[in-house]
Each structure stands twice: as C-alpha cells, then as structure tokens.
Amino acid sequence: MLSLTVRRMASSHRVAVLLAGSGVYDGSEIHEASAALVALSRHNAQISCFAPDKPQLHAINHCAGAPHEENRNVLQESARIARGKVTDLAQLKVEDFDALLVPGGFGAAKNLSDWALKGPDCTVDPTVAQTITQFHAAKKPLAFCCIAPHLAAKLIPGCTVTVGSADSQGGKWPYAEVAGAIEKLGCKHVEKTVAETCVDEENKIVTTPAFMYEGAFHEIHDGVSKMVEDLLKLC
C-alpha cells in the first residue's frame, strides 16, 4: 500500500493557477478560485499560484459596487487567495508544469486583459499572453472558467469554448452577450449549463460557465470541479 501511495504522489500533475487579484469585481472570483484549488488538491495535483506583478485597473468597494480612491497590486491581492504563496507570473517556466488553470472574475477582463473596456478589440497583458500561448504551443492543457475563456478565444484562433448561454433566459445568464462577442474573434462558442464543461480536445482547452450563471454556490463549485477533472484527463 505504501508503494502504491508513493507512485500516486510521484505521478501527480503540476498545475499552475493564474490569479488576477482577489474579489469578483476587480480580481479573481474567490469562490471559483477556491473551488479550483480544492478540486486540484483532491486529485493530488501539485499547485503553484501565479499573478502578474502590476497595478490593478482599479479597486472596487464590493459593498457599494463603486471604485475605491486607492491603488492595489494584482500580485499582492492574489496572495490573499493563495495564502501568501504566489509568484510573479514573469517567473513561470512552462516546462515546469503540466497544465494551466485560470479562474474567472472581472479581474480576468480588467487585469489579465482589457476586455472589460474593449471587448473583442481587447489587448491581453503581454506576460499573460506569452504564458498561455507557450502552454498551447507545448500542447499542454488549459482551463478557463466564467469570463476567462475570452483569453483563449483571443489568443488561440479557431478554438472552441463556452461561457454558458447566448440567451439571458430571464436574467439567469446576465452576461449572455459575451458568447456572441467571443465568436467575433473567430472561435466557436458552445452552449453549456453551469454543470457542464466544453472540451476542445484538439487545442486541449477546457471551459465552464461558473458565475456567468446566476446559480447557487454548490452549482458553481460542481461545474468548476468537473472542469478540473477534464483538465487533468488531458495531461
């Protein structure tokens, strides 16, 4: 039994998690990030958290939904989720990892890119773009949830992703217009429920809607967990 345990630990996958701050409105969505970290841990993955060392676009008062009069740093805010164990993204070496996972939250569209300001005409942060394209070039799997799939759509032409539904369905999908915006980049959008994933096997990309859907916490957790399972299957 001991030797079996040792073999399992030796074969665990090394996954880099790219964070964008802390908090749904200006950073990584905390529940999505936590769900991903829990699922990776359950699968005995070796987890390393990274974030760009740069100023946030802005900081949001999450009670009022309005900007603070202050500056914050993406790396420092991401450390709140990573329990202090976060590394500057510029130091990530793709050869040291088997996969990359990017949680959602507005930080993905404000700090990792400027999608929140420019939509399909956005520019991806150079270090973020380099990291994602290097993983893809190395044929290593990538996972994105919530709004983060726009990064794959922008950087990997012709890929297939999901952000859920293109129909708001009475407000259950409040960001439904993102599906059409993503298709303007030349990729394919596939309709999925919050519990489902979209797996682009050719490009090794796994996506799930997460909080693009106005669902319960356990629904988002379950969808993100499935994303992690499908990601690790591609390793």
Find the CATH number of the domain harbouring 39: 3.40.50.880
Residue 5 has pLDDT above 70, yes or no: no
Query: Which residues are annotated as catalytic?
Result: 146
**Number of domains within the chain:** 1
Strands 60-61 and 198-200: unpaired
- pLDDT over 70, % of the chain: 94
Q: Contact at 8 Å (CB) between 139 and 150?
A: no
Question: Percent of the chain having pLDDT more than 90?
Answer: 87
Mean of per-residue pLDDT scores for the chain: 93
Confidence check: pLDDT of 87 > 90: yes
Of 223, 227, 225, 201, give the one whose Cα is nearest residue 212.
Answer: 223
pLDDT at 231 over 50: yes
Half-sphere exposure of 27 (CA within 13 A, CB side): 27
Q: Give the residue numbers spanning the domain of 101.
A: 2-233
Query: How much is the pTM?
Result: 0.93
pLDDT band at 8 (very low <50, low <70, confident <90, very high): very low
Average pLDDT, stretch 93-99?
Answer: 98
With a CB cutoff of 8 Å and minimum separation 6, the contacts of 122 are 109, 113, 114, 115, 150, 154
Rounded mean pLDDT of 164-191?
A: 96
Please, what sign has the CA dihedral across residues 36, 41, 43, 46? positive
What pLDDT score does 24 carry? 84
- CA dist., res. 48 & res. 17, Å (int): 6
